[in-house]
Amino acid sequence: MIELSGIVERITYYNEKDGFSVIKFSVNDNEDYKDETVTAVGYFHCLETGERLKLKGDWILHKDYGYQFKTEFYEVITPATINDIEKYLASGAIKGIGPATAKRIVDEFGEKTLEILNSYPDELLKIPGIGEKKLNMITKSYEEQREIRDIMLFLQQYGIGPAVAVKIYKKYKEKATQVLKENPYRLADEVEGIGFKTADYIAQKMGIENNSMERLEAGLKYTLLKAADEGHVFLPADKLLYKTSELLGVESELLNQPLLALEEKEEIVIDRSWGSSEVYLAAFYYLEKSIARKLFLLAQMIDKPLEITDETINEIEKLCKIQLAKRQREALEKAAQNGVIVITGGPGTGKTTTIQSLLKFFEKHKLKAALAAPTGRAAKRMAEATGKEAKTIHRLLEYNAFEHGAMAFGKNQESLLEEDVIIVDEMSMVDITLMYHLLSAVKPGARLILVGDKDQLPSVGPGSVLKEIIESDKISTVVLDEIFRQAQESMIVVNAHRINKGYFPYLNVKDKDFFFEQVLSPEDILETILEMVKERLPNYGNFDPFEDIQILTPMKKGIVGVINLNERLQHILNPPSTSKKECKYHGQLFREGDKVMQIKNNYEKEVFNGDLGRITNIDEDDDIVTVTFQDIQQEKNVTYCGQEIEELNLAYALSVHKSQGSEFPAVIIPITTSHYVMLQRNLLYTAVTRAKRLLVLVGSKQALTLSIQNNRALKRYGHLSDRIIEEFSCGIYPT
């Protein structure tokens, strides 16, 4: 690691949110670069022109701007001479002191100026132009600078850079060092962007014992959070102890006491209701119980059944110019009679048509209905199919960004939705957190209609909400099981149902839309896919490689995993050009024109996990990426600065999980035995149902057979079904 000392000549760019900066730095004590002005980049805080710094880092080569010094650590050097002190004060680093005041202060106190600022700030009142108000401003500004420097120096001795230090300081201010010394594991709970592993690294560097109570408790909570990332609402106690002992490298017996301590502090709930000990993060326990209770109340609180007859349904058929199947008519009847119903079915079974007929029915009864879906793309499809406004669930609930981007909604139990009917599509994607917020906002007496495909992959977040509601057998459910004649013409639809039932699909039927190309090695599969995207499909069906063709793959890594496919597809579809600017973040190269996906919910920017867009501009100087997203009704531009870029991924290829809620004109799926661990029937079924006009499988029949035969989807730990049964069996209806 190289060390440079010198003066900040100019601040070219500064991002207030994360402190990322580009500076011109005059080096004065490194023989190789002495008296040179270099460009330095890194994360700085409260930086001012004229400050003396010691930088530690390495040189990097930027393709347009040449060599830059990438700063990993830095410290502010206290000015040593009277001239340096005056330059420092005159730089504007301290609020309330400009060049004229700086000169007067130094003239008065000379070399003792910084000692006066540190220990005897009231002495500044001797200086003309400094009164009590200005003195307070000066001392507050100087103290804040000293605090952030102290925390940075404190962390640097443990190998933690300024980017993390700034986050910690913004959270704890002057108490940051004290918090770290007392319990660095608080960072994992309280500071956005700092997880258990970073907190544990800091703690280990600080010499905290492996078996300390703080570490053991933090490890247990981290294991539960990781389980939630995998879809689990709780973990059996024995599994939790085993996984945490592996994570921390301690005996599982040591974890019994911290587990009980977390229960005592109400950070977790140990539920012993079902014959074993099951451990929840407290929030998930109460979410699960609340969902069951709210479903029971909505089901019971319906004012009265709506009148519906065969004549009514016949009239709706005429208005919609359709003929409803037996199960669709049943859905109308149950919607008239019940407060909550579920409508489930595979592709081509008429879910959208059922929604259209329901809207007409409720319209006849002068009931106001709202349409919603979990993602923008799903809501857009819903709106196009029904001709009615549809919103994302977040937008329906009037989401807000709380501190640290937490989820909060304007519509809740204190400000209920006004609509009499709420129809939610793509329910398989809804996790327990979003379901809780939705139910909280539905007014008593309103009808809730949940539509989705129970056989698709469950939500990315914890829980299997749709599946467990159906399994409870307490919520009125209609299963649409008839494939309509028009849908029967599509091999995509026919084969999706065959795969779902465990049958081998019909392959390469002439003039149809479902194709299989036998290619054995992953390397050859990759080359076949690249050829298809670049030439064969555009020539075959006039498919646009950017707008129409989507690669879906089960795995992130490997030759035909998401990462490698994206790199290769980017190279052939959006190659380097002098007219296209680029930036690199965490090893991923982004280029103007790239197809990208938002990979986490950002309530502040109003973009959500799964939204697809195109990079329309990159400002290489300031590390700013602008993405144009197609919103439900219009395009919108969203900018990402510095660390925010980590919210984007290239999207030429997507994981099957990330494709949920979306449909694409043409889908290509690599299917290889090298993806053995992910060859699952519901994953293949979900991928196939994403295609509208063309589906191509590229791989081996052996891998295809293994996928269809493997119906052992990962069991998610949750008790929503049991809690719904419990509520309906002994729930008390409020009078």
Pairing of strands 612-619, 595-598: antiparallel
Question: Is residue 184 situated within a structural domain?
Answer: no
pLDDT tens string 442-496: 999 999 999 999 999 888 889 999 999 999 999 999 999 988 867 778 999 999 9
pLDDT tens string 572-631: 999 999 899 988 877 789 999 999 999 887 777 878 778 899 999 998 655 689 999 876
Helices (H) and strands (E) in the chain, counts: 27, 28
Same-domain pairing of 298 and 322: yes
CA 496, 497, 503, 507: dihedral to nearest 10 degrees? -40
Which pLDDT does position 407 carry in this prediction? 62
Asked whether 506 and 498 are in contact (CB, 8 A), the reply is yes
> Does 352 belong to an annotated binding site?
yes
Same-domain pairing of 397 and 445: yes
Least reliable range by pLDDT among 25-29, 494-498, 651-655: 25-29
Question: Is residue 388 situated within a structural domain?
Answer: yes
**Unique residue bearing structure tokens 């293994």:** 706
pLDDT tens string 688-719: 999 999 999 999 999 999 999 998 777 899 99
Question: Is residue 182 situated within a structural domain?
Answer: no
- Count of all residues that appear for the chain in the document: 735
Return d(Cα 295, Cα 339) in angstroms, integer. Answer: 9
Indicate the burial class of 191 (C-beta count within 10 angstroms; 0-12, 13-18, 19 or more): buried
Same-domain pairing of 629 and 662: yes
Same-domain pairing of 676 and 624: yes
Domain extent for 259: 190-279
Q: What are the angstrom distances between the C-alpha of 504 and each of 494, 525, 685, 704, 709?
A: 11, 21, 12, 8, 9
Question: CA angle, corner 390, sides to 388 and 394, nearest 5?
Answer: 165
Mean pLDDT along residues 653-665: 90
Asked whether 355 and 610 are in contact (CB, 8 A), the reply is no
- The yes-or-no verdict on residue 330 having pLDDT over 70 is yes
Asked whether 669 and 613 are in contact (CB, 8 A), the reply is no
> How many domains does the chain contain in total?
4
Tell which of 483, 512, 529 closes a domain.
483
Question: Is residue 89 situated within a structural domain?
Answer: yes
End-to-end CA distance of the chain: 72
Tell me how far apart the 2 most distant CA atoms of the chain are, in Å: 97
User: What 3-state class would DSSP assign to 515?
Assistant: strand
- The DSSP element (H or E) to which 642 belongs, if any, is none
> Does 350 belong to an annotated binding site?
yes
> Does 349 belong to an annotated binding site?
yes
Question: CATH no. for residue 640?
Answer: 3.40.50.300
Least reliable range by pLDDT among 141-155, 258-272, 498-512: 141-155
Q: Model confidence at 404, in pLDDT bands (50, 70, 90)?
A: very low
Question: Is residue 724 situated within a structural domain?
Answer: no
Residue 372's nearest CA partner among 408, 423, 406 is 423
pLDDT tens string 227-255: 998 999 999 999 999 999 999 999 999 99
CA 467, 562, 546, 567: dihedral to nearest 10 degrees? 170
User: What 3-state class would DSSP assign to 284?
Assistant: helix
Asked whether 269 and 280 are in contact (CB, 8 A), the reply is yes
> Does 375 belong to an annotated binding site?
no
42-64: b or e for each residue (b if 16 or more CB lie within 10 Å)? bbbbbbbbbbbbebbbeeeeeee
Asked whether 400 and 409 are in contact (CB, 8 A), the reply is yes
Same-domain pairing of 339 and 252: no
**Unique residue bearing structure tokens 């000169």:** 103
Pairing of strands 20-27, 268-271: unpaired
Question: Is residue 169 situated within a structural domain?
Answer: no
Same-domain pairing of 197 and 136: no
Same-domain pairing of 216 and 293: no
Q: What are the angstrom distances between the C-alpha of 683 and each of 466, 651, 677, 713?
A: 17, 19, 11, 9
Same-domain pairing of 395 and 543: no
Question: Is residue 259 situated within a structural domain?
Answer: yes
Question: CATH no. for residue 7?
Answer: 2.40.50
Question: Is residue 446 situated within a structural domain?
Answer: yes
Same-domain pairing of 369 and 398: yes
3-class secondary structure per residue, 219-273: HHHHHHHHHHHCCCCCEEHHHHHHHHHHHHCCCHHHHHHHHHHHHHCCCEEEECC
Token couple for 288:
């699960």
Question: CA angle, corner 260, sides to 257 and 262, nearest 5?
Answer: 110
Which pLDDT does position 525 carry in this prediction? 96
Asked whether 498 and 504 are in contact (CB, 8 A), the reply is yes
Same-domain pairing of 214 and 274: yes
> Does 593 belong to an annotated binding site?
no
Same-domain pairing of 102 and 218: no
Return d(Cα 576, Cα 578) in angstroms, integer. Answer: 7
Tell which of 279, 297, 319 closes a domain.
279
- The yes-or-no verdict on residue 640 having pLDDT over 50 is yes
Q: Average model confidence (pLDDT) for the chain?
A: 88
Tell which of 257, 279, 301 closes a domain.
279
What predicted TM-score, i.e. pTM, was given to this entire model? 0.79
Q: Model confidence at 169, in pLDDT bands (50, 70, 90)?
A: confident
8-state DSSP, 482:
P
Return d(Cα 151, Cα 176) in angstroms, integer. Answer: 7
Q: How far is CA 496 from the centre of its chain?
A: 29
